[in-house]
Amino acid sequence: MPDASAASAVKEPDPDVLRPMSKQTFDAACKEQGYARGVTLIGSDAYSIRCVNEDGSLQTFPLREDIHNSVAQACQDTYRDKRVTDRLATMGGTYTAWQCADYGSYAGIPDLKGWCGSRGLQLVGTQNYRYPAYRWFCANSSKTRLEGIPMDRVCSWQFDESALDRVFNVYGKTVEDAWDCFYTRT
């Protein structure tokens, strides 16, 4: 079975489009948002970042995917002169798993079925995947050939070269509930 990280190929940060995040940038953004103690981790994946209040209590999210709103705000606090949004490169990291991407406009939902079909394959999904958003693959009819789907390339293929992928909920069980594509500003 392909590795989950292959499902969303990580683009090298283009300084004109993708900007890195780090523990220091998250710490500064948390403090900017009024969390006196900055940032901490409650786990080992990208969704484990939390801001810390003066009393030591942690930032909470009613829904796990609400962390994206917090990271988007951290991006805006960090890169004030840019119109940026959050972009999760991989769940396999913490602070540096996040990027801030120049956001031009919404492009649409990635067409994974069309992508697989253009390669002579069909779209398949696995059932028990830790992060359901990464459960999609292309396969031949006998499923002896299985390929991860490079979401960044799907967005570029479907919309145009300036389009970039964005997972907004790694727990989304359908493509529509997990992914979108957006146009970057160049």
Write out pLDDT tens, residues 89-124.
999 999 999 999 999 999 999 999 999 999 999 999
Confidence class for position 1, pLDDT limits 50, 70, 90: very low
Distance CA 53, CA 39 (A): 9
Question: How is residue 170 written in tokens?
Answer: 């790694």
In this prediction the pTM is 0.85
Higher pLDDT, 10 or 16: 16
CA nearest to 107, candidates 138, 88, 79, 85: 85
User: What per-residue confidence (pLDDT) applies to 6?
Assistant: 39
Question: Which has more pLDDT, 67 or 3?
Answer: 67
Residue 2 is predicted with a pLDDT of 38
Q: Which residues contact 148 (CB under 8 A, 6 or more apart)?
A: 2, 3, 6, 7, 9, 137
Phi-psi region of 184 (alpha: psi -120 to 50; beta: other; left: phi over 0): beta
The whole-angstrom separation of Cα 32 and Cα 128 is 39
For 94, other C-beta atoms within 10 Å of its C-beta total: 20
pLDDT tens track for 49-75: 999 999 999 999 999 999 999 999 999
What are the sequence ranges of the domains in the chain?
A: 4-9+107-183, 18-103
According to the model, what pLDDT value does residue 114 have?
98
